[in-house]
Amino acid sequence: MTSRMRAEIGEQPDALRRTIDALRPAAAGIAALARETRQVLFIARGSSDNAAVYGRYLVESRAGRLGTPAAPSIATAYRRRLDLSGVLAVAISQSGKTEEIVETLDWAASCGARTVAVTNGEGSPLAEAAEVALITRAGDELAVPATKTYTTQLAALSVLGLGLGAQVDADDLNRVPDEVARLIEATEASPALGEIVEALARVPGAVVSGRGLAFGTALELALKIKEACYLHAMGLSYADLLHGPIAVVDAQTPALLIAADSGPTLPGTIALAERVRSAGAQAYGVGGGGGLAGACSAALPGPVLPEWTAPLGLIVPGQILVENLARRLGIDPDVPRGLNKVTQTD
């Protein structure tokens, strides 16, 4: 029987196509806000926070604007006023109903920020609170682990980047839906999928690492492994991994390494795979082209996309891996224990 999670993974090409087509015109509204701001503050939790990491790297590496993560507790617990003049506050929430995120966006506006919401919840409190709402077109998502709502958030953040003046070819976005459809088929046909699933089913956890624009993907894959498979998974930039935590990588703790097929962080990811294997541990790749695949014990294919849009596809093989691993472990991936679709925090 097909899980809801697997069905929703398969809906991503259409969800991405709808979202990109609907939101591309919104870049003009973002550009208007951009003229009155100089830096971007991202407000999010959970998978949305991992999407925000992609947004941060995108606006810094391609639009030349400082991007920073918000600490919502400054607004909701400490209730500290800050000078946010010149700041574009971008709040990200799948449902648009997480009270902490709505309250923090309201706080940012009261502190002088201009505001944008990224949400799948049209008419939600978050959408109503923002000056510009980027409403994703993922449709209803029934499985608790976010799949299509996550990738459509990345699409919305790509449009945000365009509005902020990212120096990229905007037409690259149009290639994403078809490439994700191809990638779903390629991943499920890959002999490496079963090999990696069996290997992860025999260990208590893994390290998941990427850098730059792929870092958010590594964090999201680590989160999915924890929430849907109940394994310990540490998501790290490979730069941080090399500063000590690499000591945990051993025969019982393999490394999952994530990279686009091009870009300045690819050589370092390949070198990390070689180092992991030379230490007697297993390294499994996602993306990174032939270079990373050749350095790893086994590797899943990645999207054939430029680095700035690659994260919209890079997470998809990881989603398929997690769904397969959960079922291999006898876990229903649709309803992980202790989790709800909308999470409220104080």
pLDDT in tens, 245-258: 567 788 888 999 99
C-alpha 336/C-alpha 19 separation (Å) is: 27
Q: 177-328: which CATH topology?
A: Rossmann fold (3.40.50)
- Domain regions of the chain by residue span: 4-168, 177-328
Residue 242 has a pLDDT of: 72
Q: Is the pLDDT of residue 336 over 90?
A: no
C-alpha 135: how far from chain center: 17
| Catalytic site includes residue 224 | no
Q: What is the mean pLDDT of residues 202-208?
A: 95
Going by the DSSP 8-state scheme, the letter that residue 323 receives in this structure is: H
Q: Tell me which amino acid residue 111 is.
A: C
pLDDT tens across 48-74, in order? 999 999 999 999 999 999 999 999 999
Q: Is the pLDDT of residue 153 over 60?
A: yes
Q: What does CATH list as the number for 4-168?
A: 3.40.50.10490
Confidence of residue 341 (pLDDT cuts 50, 70, 90): very low
Q: Is the pLDDT of residue 11 over 70?
A: yes
Q: What is the mean pLDDT of residues 312-334?
A: 97
C-alpha 6/C-alpha 333 separation (Å) is: 9
Measured CA to CA in angstroms, residue 89 lies from 84, 101, 112, 197, 307 at distances of 9, 11, 10, 39, 25
Let me know if the fold of 4-168 is the same as that of 177-328. yes
- State the catalytic residue, choosing from 97, 224, 226, 341: 341
Strand 255-259 to 298-300 pairing: unpaired
- What are the φ and ψ backbone dihedral angles of 189, each rounded to 5 degrees? -90, -10
Q: Is the pLDDT of residue 167 over 60?
A: yes
Q: Is the pLDDT of residue 340 over 70?
A: no
Confidence of residue 236 (pLDDT cuts 50, 70, 90): confident
Q: What's the chain's length in residues?
A: 346
Q: Is the pLDDT of residue 342 over 80?
A: no
Q: Is the pLDDT of residue 136 over 50?
A: yes
Residue 231 has a pLDDT of: 95
C-alpha 293/C-alpha 335 separation (Å) is: 33
- First-to-last C-alpha distance (Å) of the chain: 38
